[in-house]
């Protein structure tokens, strides 16, 4: 098995005794991200006020090109960046004229979404309908979306708690219209974790993701694909949203004609630098998402086999691999002991995480067979 630890020397050397099995959460940063971060500082020092030309004319389009390539998008101008995906949720929702908003989602969405929508409901600004996460989830979503009773449909590409991958996104996208409903796919656990081709639904679906997890770029860089003609004038906006004078309307509030209409105000560009540096490094190394998935697949099989001889062998594996079907980059193990296991592992400097009664063990490019074997030996003792 090919080893990739040399790409993560700084992060691994910083805590040499740690076993970091939370690549699905705070993914360790590769060395290339350090160089990207340093380049952001150097450009700010060297160029001062003029750094924004470098950011917007060189770093930004390079980042757009990387995202477009990853998602199989034909037009990189449909990509915009922000500090986090929550910013994009707010701007997309602000562009919907109806109040209260009528939202449809699964019960397995991220905390940021569920907290925000709960507050909107409290304030009388939204009505939220959710469908259970079960074998009929997609069928229920499609049936309810087809009713025409909703303004925005939100669903995760990969559910964060269970690792379940949502299917039939093309059928949901087929229901989307510029006048509503709109479809927002949360790709945070999908981007650079499962091979993703949006080419057939790019004209109908929003897609958000971030650099914190599998993009290995840290916080501060989130990306949005915005379909042309959808949400042309977000109410929540900043001065960067009118950067292109071609989008200005005389006497009114103008917007850029592409995804930049979702821009806010001044931002920290260092995340973009890190993202571009990491993606450039992966390209030089010949490492695509499929490469990482192949590397992780062997480790996942080894880990699942090793769990049988540990207390975790009695847990319910919520996302077992099935043939050649796409699978999340983490194991989701349900047990009443999940919190205790996570705490015991932390005492041994083994990093995992827990969501309710689900222990999540994430695998990444910086793991090898020896790491998995060491984890299984420790698990025998908890």
Task: State the Cα–Cα distance between residues 20 and 101, nearest whole angstrom.
Answer: 41
pLDDT of residue 244: 61
**For the chain, how are helix, strand and coil distributed in percent, rounded to 5?**
40, 15, 40
Q: Is 223 in contact with 235 (CB distance < 8 Å)?
A: no
Confidence of residue 241 (pLDDT cuts 50, 70, 90): confident
Residue 202 sits at φ, ψ, to 5 deg, of -60, -25
Summarize the confidence of residues 323-347 as an average pLDDT. Answer: 94
DSSP 109-165: --HHHHHHHHHHHHTTSEEEEEE-SSTTHHHHHHHHHTTT--SEEEEESB-TTT-PB
Average pLDDT over residues 225-251: 81
Residue that has been written with the tokens 């927002």 in this structure: 184
Distances 238 to 243, 254, 264, 276 between C-alpha atoms, Å: 10, 11, 4, 24
Q: Cβ(97)–Cβ(178) under 8 Å?
A: no
Least confident of 109-113, 173-177, 348-352: 109-113
Which of 221, 182, 188, 180 has the alpha carbon at shortest distance from 201?
182
Distance CA 23, CA 19 (A): 11
- pLDDT tens-digit readout, 26-53: 999 999 999 999 999 999 999 999 999 9
* pLDDT value of residue 314: 95
> Is residue 251's pLDDT more than 90?
no
Q: Write out the E strands in the chain.
A: 19-20, 79-82, 101-106, 126-131, 152-156, 182-186, 205-210, 222-225, 316-317, 330-334, 350-351, 353-355, 358-362
**pLDDT higher than threshold 80 for residue 181:** yes
Q: How confident is the model at residue 243 (pLDDT cuts 50, 70, 90)?
A: low
Q: Coil, strand or helix: which one is 67?
A: helix
Please report which confidence band the pLDDT of residue 258 belongs to, taking 50, 70 and 90 as the band edges.
very high
Token digits for 290?
Answer: 């499929």
Q: For residues 378 and 303, give the distance between their C-alpha atoms in angstroms, rounded to a whole number.
A: 12
Tokens of 338: 């999940």
pLDDT band at 246 (very low <50, low <70, confident <90, very high): very low
Nearby residues of 44 by Cβ (< 8 Å), 6 or more positions away: 51
pLDDT at 245 over 60: no
Query: Domains plus CATH for the chain?
Result: 5-32+287-379 (3.90.1150.10), 34-281 (3.40.640.10)
Q: Which helix (H) or strand (E) holds 255?
A: none
Element housing 53 (H / E): helix 51-54
The values of phi and psi at residue 271, to 5°, are -60, -40
| Residues 182-225: tens digit of each pLDDT | 999 999 999 999 999 999 999 999 999 999 999 999 999 999 99
User: Rounded distance, CA 62 to CA 17, Å?
Assistant: 36
Average pLDDT, integer, range 267-294: 97
pLDDT tens column, 51-78? 999 999 999 999 999 999 999 999 999 9
Phi and psi at residue 312, to the nearest 5°: -70, -10
Whether the pLDDT of residue 119 is over 60: the answer is yes
pTM recorded for the entire structure: 0.95
């Amino acid at each position: 098995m090919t080893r990739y630890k040399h790409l993560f020397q700084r992060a691994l050397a910083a805590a040499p005794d740690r076993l970091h099995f939370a690549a699905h959460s705070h993914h360790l940063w590769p060395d290339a991200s350090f160089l990207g971060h340093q380049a952001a500082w150097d450009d700010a020092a060297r160029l001062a006020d003029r750094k924004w030309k470098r950011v917007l004319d060189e770093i930004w389009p390079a980042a757009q090109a990387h995202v477009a390539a990853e998602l199989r998008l034909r037009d990189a101008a449909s990509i915009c960046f922000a500090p986090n995906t929550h910013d994009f949720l707010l701007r997309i929702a602000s562009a919907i004229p109806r109040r209260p908003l009528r939202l449809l989602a699964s019960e397995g969405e991220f905390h940021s979404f569920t907290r925000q929508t709960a507050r909107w409901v409290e304030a009388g600004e939204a009505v939220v309908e959710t469908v259970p996460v079960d074998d009929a989830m997609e069928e229920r979503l499609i049936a309810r979306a087809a009713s025409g009773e909703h303004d925005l449909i939100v669903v995760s590409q990969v559910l964060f708690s269970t690792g379940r991958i949502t299917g039939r996104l093309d059928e949901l996208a087929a229901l989307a219209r510029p006048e509503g409903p709109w479809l927002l796919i949360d790709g945070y656990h999908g981007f650079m974790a499962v091979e993703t081709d949006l080419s057939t639904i790019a004209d109908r679906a929003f897609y958000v993701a971030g650099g914190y997890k599998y993009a290995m770029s840290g916080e501060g860089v989130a990306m949005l694909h915005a379909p042309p003609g959808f949400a042309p004038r977000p109410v929540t906006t900043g001065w960067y949203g009118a950067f292109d004078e071609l989008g200005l309307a005389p006497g009114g509030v103008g917007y850029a004609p592409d995804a930049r209409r979702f821009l806010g105000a001044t931002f920290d560009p260092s995340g973009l630098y890190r993202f571009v540096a990491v993606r450039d490094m992966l390209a030089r190394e010949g490492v695509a998402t499929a490469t990482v998935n192949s590397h992780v697949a062997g480790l996942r099989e080894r880990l699942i086999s090793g769990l049988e001889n540990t207390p975790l062998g009695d847990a319910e594996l919520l996302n077992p691999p099935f043939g050649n079907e796409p699978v999340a980059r983490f194991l989701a193990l349900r047990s009443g002991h999940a919190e205790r296991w996570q705490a015991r592992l932390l005492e041994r400097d083994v990093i995992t995480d827990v969501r309710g009664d689900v222990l999540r063990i994430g695998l990444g490019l910086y793991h090898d067979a020896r790491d998995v074997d060491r984890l299984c030996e420790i698990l025998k003792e908890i």
